[in-house]
Amino acid sequence: MIKKKNSEIEKDYLKKINKIQKLNKAYYVNSKPIVEDKIYDELKKNILDLEKKYYFLKNEMSPSTSVGYKPSKNFKKVRHMTPMLSLGNAFNRDDLINFEKKIYNFLSFNHNTKIEYSVEPKIDGISASLFYKDGKFIQGLSRGDGAQGEDITENLKTIEDIPKDLNGKDYPHEIDIRGEVFINNSDFENLKNKFANPRNAASGSLRQKDPKETKKIPLRFVAYTFGYSKDLKIKNQFEFLVSLKKWGFKTNEFNKVISGIENLITNHKKIEEQRNKIDFDIDGLVYKVNDFNLQKRLGYAANAPRWAVAHKFSANKSISEILKIEIQIGRTGALTPVAKIKPVNIGGVLVSNATLHNEDEINRKDIRLGDTVIVERAGDVIPHVISVDKKKRNKNSKKFVFPKKCPSCGFETIKEFNKITKKFDAVRRCPDRGFECEKIAIEKIKHFISKDAFNIDGFGKKIVESFWAKKLIRYPNDIFNLDYKVISKLEGWGDISVANLKYSIETKKKITLSRFIYSMGIRHIGQENAKLIAKNLNSLDNFLSMKNQLDFRHLLNIDGIGDTQIISIQNFFSNKKNLLMLEKFKKIIEILPEEENIIGGIFKGKTFMLTGKLEGISRAEAKSLIEKNSGKISSNVNKKLDYLVIGDKPTIRKVNEAKDLNIKVISQKDFLKMLNFKDF
């Protein structure tokens, strides 16, 4: 089902990315936000949720790879000591159960183990990072894009809630305190003629060039976490919040420690009921695993911590009318129906599109043209239709007939049979025949130039569409053989812009194998799977030479690669046009060594393999520990292997092979001793 949603959802996803970038620019650069805070956060949440659910959704402007917007030229850019990351979102009980389940699985915890969460209101304000050295406030930064922010120290100094000197003596030698700048609703009453809402007022005030102007606004600050610290001796989040108060910061009166999903939900309902009585805007609650040692073990996935989630408040709904139903096609061929609706305001945003998900959803809800529908925004920028008011339906209305042929290429669409569920997928798909389908081909090329693939600066999606229309490109490799003389004659292109484009393309002829594999847009091969395959194959030649069944089955030895991925790779290599494209790439690109996580980590230059069940730690966490410390993971026993780590009931064949090759066989206990771990 997920496979088939891919293409349709991808187009919706790209619109959401464009929307959030428009909002980011308005907010972070122009200081003139155009939507309410809640709408922005829901949009961000939906993008991140979609990326988690659908592996194929990736974009350089996504909140999963960037946070906020690039720093303004009005302020000095400064790199954060540790990135200011975003949070994953939860909307209901199932989301919370899934969040906790992932924690238990990653930590290999027994489900009877109790996990404490620090529960903190999510203030709808502006994030800021404050660096203190020996208790003195040295520098303050905005979030910026998450990696680097704007130096707004002087503006932050005007906020009374931010201490210039920390109280007491038990604070760390160096610490990067993080929190939220906001305005109380009561104070905003005197400013509402100048700003759209409290968050807008806080944003605009913080980014004033003159601190004296900032001082005129009654800004407040609540501290809630830290990024970097030196000599911090506190063991858990709630204890840290108590210490923040001792040091002179304001903290939230609604902070508490809670265990159990049902207790979290009960508290969430209670706070939501009190929401309108609180003098500042909150749009949900943040749950953080309380124990810092567990936080450290859980670490981060992509652009968000595994140990925290934002539990959002209720979704917004409204009533509208379906004017048209369009079928969109994504990179993997999935056909996604999108309803064009009569524009309606939902939570401060004018909505004109709503996803209908797939053919089965349309049939189940009996959605038709002209229907009056209830539209919900549970984080969706393109919301979804949740029900039809059939009492208002025109008597002459007809059932919507989902196209059986691809609207782009006219090829017969299919519904794939899922061997696991023993059912046909809900999503109808145009079969991926390489680059035969125009819409699929265009989306594949867009994927090729994306940030996590070739990341060609200045070569955006609109340029892909323009060059396709001009027949300048038909395959990804065509990008490296563009006719720049023809381009220079196109409207909007001058000598400088053409030279810049040529330079950007020429500098991208060197790429790591994992990024190259990912750039091919092979279905079910996301970034992580591409990395696993690249580590196993080691060279472009090995990747290009995969031609027979034996080559593909060999990939099953890679932990994390299964039949689904193997079939996708086989399908990719069975297409003659794909093979021709790969041969051309062999003459164009140069493969670079894979990037290491930590320079000089204790496992630098060492390769590990795991076999058997580990105790108190999941295999995913063990691999994460190895990679964090510059080590490499092997999927088979070979001469290059340094350590075979064995757990309970290891594969005897692997142990014997390792001994025959004089490879060091160590226990889980010895492995953890190498890391100096005492937490298991």
Catalytic residue numbers read 122
Whole-Å CA distances, 149 to 31, 140, 143: 15, 9, 5
Residues 6+ positions from 8 with CB-CB distance below 8 Å:
327, 328, 329, 330, 334, 335, 336, 337, 338, 355, 357, 358, 427
Taking the alpha carbons at both ends of the chain, their separation in whole angstroms is: 39
Q: Do residues 658 and 635 lie in contact, with contact meaning Cβ atoms separated by under 8 Å? A: no
Q: Do residues 555 and 636 lie in contact, with contact meaning Cβ atoms separated by under 8 Å? A: no
Q: Token pair for residue 309?
A: 């989630």
Residues 6+ positions from 330 with CB-CB distance below 8 Å:
6, 7, 8, 9, 10, 11, 56, 336, 440, 443
| Dist CA 302 CA 607 (whole Å) | 23
Q: Do residues 425 and 324 lie in contact, with contact meaning Cβ atoms separated by under 8 Å? A: no
| Dist CA 310 CA 90 (whole Å) | 6
At residue 425, the 3 state secondary structure works out as coil
Q: Do residues 44 and 86 lie in contact, with contact meaning Cβ atoms separated by under 8 Å? A: yes
| Dist CA 581 CA 572 (whole Å) | 11
Q: Token pair for residue 358?
A: 């797939």
Q: Do residues 345 and 35 lie in contact, with contact meaning Cβ atoms separated by under 8 Å? A: no
At residue 327, the 3 state secondary structure works out as strand
How wide is the angle at C-alpha 100 spanned by C-alphas 267 and 303, nearest 5°? 105
| Dist CA 282 CA 96 (whole Å) | 19
**Cα-flanking dihedrals φ and ψ of residue 620, to 5°?**
-60, -40
Q: Token pair for residue 279?
A: 């003098």
Place of tokens 């659910």: 53
Helix axes 438-448, 461-469, angle to 10 degrees: 140
Alpha-helical regions (H) of 54-150: 93-107
Q: Do residues 387 and 374 lie in contact, with contact meaning Cβ atoms separated by under 8 Å? A: yes
Q: Token pair for residue 401?
A: 């007939």
Q: What number of other Cβ atoms are within 10 A of residue 333's Cβ?
A: 29
Q: Do residues 267 and 285 lie in contact, with contact meaning Cβ atoms separated by under 8 Å? A: yes
DSSP class of residue 167 equals: S
HSE-up (13 A, CA, CB side) for residue 162: 29
What does the longest C-alpha to C-alpha distance in the chain come to? 80
| Dist CA 661 CA 664 (whole Å) | 9
- Angular region, 541: left φ>0, alpha ψ -120 to 50, beta rest: alpha
| Dist CA 275 CA 185 (whole Å) | 12
DSSP class of residue 606 equals: -
DSSP class of residue 228 equals: E
Residues paired with residue 250 on neighbouring β-strands, in sequence order: none
Q: Do residues 632 and 608 lie in contact, with contact meaning Cβ atoms separated by under 8 Å? A: yes
